[in-house]
Amino acid sequence: MCVDLLSEVVAGSAAWLGRGLSCVCVQGRDGDPRPSFDLTPAQEECLQRLQSRIDVAYDSSIPQHQEALKDLWKLAFPEEELHGIVSDQWKEMGWQGKDPSTDFRGGGFISLENLLYFARKFPKSFHGLLRKQVGDRSVWEYPFAVAGINITFMLIQMLDLEAVKPRSIVGETFLRFLSVNESAFDLLYCIAFKLMDQQWLSMRASYMEFNTVMKSTRRQLEREIMIEDITSLEDLPSYSLLSQ
């Protein structure tokens, strides 16, 4: 990947995040009423816990946050020693610069938690995406880590998780998954990341088409969540893309 050329298209993570998110948000017409779904006490509690996670900003001054970031490095590159929390080595993982904390500005700590869950739960898939091991890859690939932050954002918006209660059937359905599996958001993140990469390959995309790939990924996830008789995220067709 040519970092200099990428920086011209994506002037830092904020620009990349803005581009990634501007196209995946579905905007209703002004004045359109949006449905609201009542929650069971258990669903409301699960939603509030997830929202509490979403509200936590990444803070490099907090030791636990630094340790979590170091853990991500160890999981990604177990044979390579990290020379510092600020290091050019981070670019190997697809961060925009030597300090990943600047890329977390929009994603918050939950985006780091998502990456950690992915690396621990599905290490084969995680490393396959990190190293772009599968498929006929583009010369200009998406940056792995920053793409992961975009996926966290996309899911929060798709599921309308910052609302008091879900305003879409997709969001309401997800809360049913969450009420029986507290890791449902993290699991859906893993599914979405693998699905995004599959879409990327099938579309023969380059990083200029990242927005298009994200829109396609969101639409496919929404379709799968809406399939009748889906009782858990493991039932989604795209779950089969993941390998342990």
Band the pLDDT of 190: cuts 50, 70, 90: very high
| Average pLDDT over the chain, rounded to an integer | 85
pLDDT tens per residue across span 56-101: 999 999 999 999 999 999 999 999 999 999 999 999 999 989 999 9
In this structure, is residue 68 part of a structural domain? Answer: no
How far is the first Cα of the chain from the last one, in angstroms, to the nearest whole number?
Answer: 28
Q: For residue 3, tell me if it sits in a domain.
A: no
pLDDT digits (tens, 9 = 90+) for 21-67: 333 433 443 444 456 678 888 889 999 999 999 999 999 999 999 99
pTM: 0.86
On whether residue 9 sits in a domain, the answer given is: no
Q: Structurally, how many domains does the chain consist of?
A: 1
63 located within any domain: no
| Res 21: pLDDT | 34
Mean pLDDT calculated for residue range 182-188: 97
The answer to whether residue 36 is domain-embedded is no
Instruction: Give Cα 192 distance to the centre of its chain.
Output: 7
pLDDT of res. 10: 35
88 domain residue, yes or no: no
Position 244 scores a pLDDT of 62
Q: Examine the pLDDT at 8 and tell me if it is beyond 90.
A: no
**Residue that wins the pLDDT comparison between 106 and 25:** 106
Does residue 57 fall inside a structural domain?
no
Residue 216 confidence (pLDDT) above 70 = yes
Running DSSP on this structure, what letter comes out for residue 29? P
Per-residue pLDDT band at 104 (split at 50, 70, 90)? confident
CA distance linking residue 181 with residue 36, whole number of Å: 22
Domain that includes residue 142, residue range: 109-241
Which amino acid, residue 23? C
**pLDDT > 70? residue 19:** no
pLDDT at residue 27, as a whole number? 41
pLDDT, tens digit (0-9, with 9 covering 90-100), for 114-160: 999 999 999 999 999 999 888 877 778 899 999 999 999 999 999 99
The structure tokens listed for 85 are 């929390």
List of residues 6+ apart from 108 with CB closer than 8 A: 54, 55, 56, 57, 58, 152
Please give the average per-residue pLDDT across 170-178, as a whole number: 94
Does residue 209 form part of some domain? yes
Instruction: Pick the closest to residue 189 from 131, 238, 133, 128 (CA basis).
Output: 238
- Stretch 230-238: mean pLDDT, rounded? 95
